Amino acid sequence: MSIIRKIFLLLFPVMIAADAEGQDSYAGQRKAMLDDIVTLTRETRFETGRATLSERVMAAMAKVPRHRFVLPGEERYAYANRPLPIGHGQTISQPFIVALMTDLLDLKPGDKVLEVGTGCGYQAAVLGELAREVYTIEIVDPLAKEAAVRLAALGYRKVTVRSGDGYVGWPEQAPFDAIMVTAGAPEVPPALVQQLKPGGRLVIPVGPQWSGQSLLVIEKDAGGKTTTRNVLAVRFVPLTRDKQ
């Protein structure tokens, strides 16, 4: 056995213990985050049609270590119900919006999901707790690379990250049971609707960044016809395109 392997095996239990200790130090903040999500869900129930979120979604929100997805020095704000900068002009969405958008997808354990706008990888991790496979696209290459490393380190083997233009989706892996877009689009990208399975759902914020966006749920029926429901007024960073 090599010296490096021996050292790793000796340190591994310590690493696990340290990680568990780090998780425990955020237990109170995680509980407060979940309480905020419950409160905001009730307050927006008339707009969203949801007075509560599913137990599976809440369990995923409780499990994913949000403090591992924020910038160094921002960990103390990780569980606050607000967006945070993650670099390159991008943000990690507030926990309530992450939970709501996830719940709106109505995911089943066997589902295959596409996410457009990986960012730091937090939303992909939440989806990874609920679905069979998650494919996520990020147009900012450094963010995509960082997210891929972070998700792998945290054990999210069912999440695949690609750097590219999410407006065109991921044709090679289509169709998808559910699609989520985590950036504001000027209109619904036709490619994403095409890549959605019959019976599937697309959740996407649509509209100009500064004059109001609407969170839409688009459902496709067995015949391929779509219906759209406006859920909530939101504000996201814009969905950018590949200029090449």
30-83 pLDDT, tens digit per residue, is 999 999 999 999 999 999 999 999 999 999 999 999 999 999 999 999 999 999
Per-residue pLDDT at 19: 52
DSSP string, 4-43: HHHHHHHHHHHHHHHHHHHHHHTHHHHHHHHHHHHHHHHH
* Pairwise CA distance, residues 66 & 63, whole Å: 9
How far is CA 112 from each of CA 16, 57, 108, 135, 173, rounded to the nearest angstrom?
A: 30, 16, 9, 8, 9
Does the pLDDT of residue 94 top 70, yes or no? yes
Backbone angles phi, psi at 68, to 5 degrees: -85, -5
Q: How confident is the model at residue 212 (pLDDT cuts 50, 70, 90)?
A: confident
Per-residue pLDDT at 18: 42
Per-residue pLDDT at 22: 52
Catalytic residues: 93
Which residue ranges form the domains of the chain, and what is each CATH number?
3-234 (3.40.50.150)
Q: What is the mean pLDDT of residues 96-105?
A: 98
Q: What percentage of the chain carries pLDDT values higher than 70?
A: 88
Does the pLDDT of residue 16 top 90, yes or no? no
Cα dihedral 63/202/101/163 (nearest 10)? 60
Q: What is the bridge-based pairing of β-strands 176-181 and 159-163?
A: unpaired
Does the pLDDT of residue 231 top 60, yes or no? yes
Per-residue pLDDT at 228: 97
167-203 pLDDT, tens digit per residue, is 999 999 999 999 999 999 999 999 999 999 999 999 9
3-state secondary structure of 130: coil
Does the pLDDT of residue 3 top 60, yes or no? no
Q: What percentage of the chain carries pLDDT values higher than 90?
A: 83
3-state secondary structure of 95: helix
Q: Residues near 59 by Cβ (< 8 Å), separated by ≥ 6?
A: 129
Contact 116, 137 (CB under 8 A): yes
Per-residue pLDDT at 66: 97
**First CA to last CA distance, the chain:** 50
104-150 pLDDT, tens digit per residue, is 999 999 999 999 999 999 999 999 999 999 999 999 999 999 999 99
